[in-house]
Amino acid sequence: MADQEGSVGSAPLLSLRGVSKSYGAVHALRGVELDLYGGEVHALAGENGAGKSTLVKILAGVHAPDTGELLLDGTPHPLADTAAGRAAGIAVIYQEPTLFPDLSVAENIFMGRQPTTRLGRIDHRAVRRSCEQLFARLGVRLDPDRPARGLSIADQQMVEIAKALSFDARVLVMDEPTSALSGVEVERLFGVVRALRDSGAAVLFISHRFDEIFALCSRVTVLRDGRWVSTDAAEDLSVDTVIRRMVGREVATLFPKTEAPVRDVVLEVTGLSRAGVFHDVDLKVRGGEIVALAGLVGAGRSEVVRAIFGIDRYDAGSVRVAGRTLRPGSPAAAMAAGIALVPEDRRQQGLVMELSVERNATLTRLWRLARFGWLSGRGERAHAEHWSQRLQVKADRLSDPVATLSGGNQQKVVLAKWLATEPAVLIVDEPTRGIDVGTKSEVHRLLSELAGEGMAVIMVSSELPEVLGMADRVLVMHEGRLVADIPRGRADENSVMAAATGGQDTP
């Protein structure tokens, strides 16, 4: 459970009272209540579409509520715009950092409000000194003069937090801040959040990861369908209880795994090695199987599947599909042989965010939809509609940019794009990262259906409940080597983690 060493004030710093917001006929929020106290980390939980993003935009001053009010220190305080939100001491740190890549870290933090000399010029020494003080407060080491381009996601998050502190923010809203961080980076961020809490700030923490919520937060508010459902002390809740309140159904439905007949070997990898990355990897996947590739961050899981698909070259070994050896380093050869790869980073590697939903869903099939060199708009639309219906993609129009969809629906579009190739082997790398529990259930149902139809599925996942709930076999990697092959009947937290940490040497 969460450590609760922060000193919670007797009166809330910020309150929402009866807040409602509609966009046309869509009721995003309906009479929501929320209190945030200084000295606490407060979790906001809910599925995509529950109203979390709308609530965050209201707190940031991006949108005004239709009804209800926002109170600061007990006094009504309308936020006319984002500048008013910052002036009120509210800072929002979004899931995707929004730094200017060609400016320095310090310039990003003090953009538009740099201290000046008596001659009206920017006082670079003062900017640097203030930046160093902020980083010292956060306990991080970053060069203020370093360009933002090339910073890790974790360091970008730290810059965003420093920017928030530079506004003397008393209320910090953190929207999925850990979705792209490793375990070590998450722990560093948690240390910063606890320090902010202990200094008296109120932190609203939004995450789909229940282990983070219970490790960090003292209270949990649940939204469903735009309505407030509950607010309770984290110590009085369980994961099962929170999920039931979020989705209105039992936790068992999260992993709708059905048994499927196991068929012949479809994918066979022998002696796959890449110097300094992975070594002598052997694996087989049969039709009808879901095989999970588990292990700690840095174990080499994603690197192995990228090599199998031909994105990365390997130094030794072979990859065979249905008995035929693939040409190394050729995604085109892998696709022609029937392999599809849903990448870990859907925004950067899986989608073209500016293009429409239907164009993204058909990118892998455009050549087949063309006639005499001309793309058939009708065929493209029909193809996209078929997969959108099967995957239950929620979009107003398929002609809308895919960037307008929620993270869960973007993930479904990536799946649609690759399933359109009718693969024999589907590789999914972190298929449910950053999406809500309801959409996770839909993705799990789809993977189970595909295996039932005879497809061979490889699932790379860092979420142990997902691995245990969906895999027929668990292949565990440790420091670039495959160290265990655990059948479903023997796979549990202890056996997987023992192998992942080096406690088991042979498959």
Residue 18's pLDDT is 95
Q: What's the order of all strands across the beta sheet hosting 290-295? A: 339-342, 425-429, 456-460, 290-295, 473-478, 481-487
- Asked whether the beta carbons of 499 and 483 are under 8 A apart, the reply is yes
Q: What is the pLDDT of residues 193-235, one digit of tens each?
A: 898 899 899 999 998 788 889 999 999 999 988 899 999 999 9
Which amino acid would we find at residue 321? Answer: V
Residue 371's pLDDT is 58
Q: What's the order of all strands across the beta sheet hosting 40-45? A: 75-76, 67-72, 14-23, 26-36, 227-233, 219-224, 40-45, 202-206, 171-175, 90-93
Q: Identify the CATH number of the domain defined by range 14-99+151-248.
A: 3.40.50.300
- Asked whether the beta carbons of 50 and 26 are under 8 A apart, the reply is no
Residue 180's pLDDT is 63
Residue 321 DSSP label? E
Residue 506's pLDDT is 44
Residue 204's pLDDT is 96
Residue 409's pLDDT is 83
Q: What is the pLDDT of residues 268-280, one digit of tens each?
A: 999 999 999 999 9
Same fold, 14-99+151-248 and 251-338+424-507: yes
Closest CA to 230 of 214, 219, 238, 215: 219
Domain boundaries, the chain: 14-99+151-248, 251-338+424-507, 352-422
CA distances from 367 to 41, 275, 337, 355, 379 (A): 51, 37, 17, 17, 11
Output the pTM of the full model.
Answer: 0.61
Q: What is the pLDDT of residues 22-56, one digit of tens each?
A: 877 668 899 999 999 999 999 999 876 788 888 99
CATH T-level fold of 251-338+424-507: Rossmann fold (3.40.50)
Tokens of 285: 């996947």
Pairing of strands 90-93, 171-175: parallel
Residue 505's pLDDT is 43
Residue 507's pLDDT is 46
CA distances from 342 to 276, 349, 424 (A): 24, 9, 14
pLDDT < 50 positions in the chain: 505-507
Residue 375's pLDDT is 54
Which string of b and e fits 313-338 if b means at least 16 CB within 10 Å? Answer: ebeebebbbeeeebebeeeebbbebb
Residue 134's pLDDT is 86
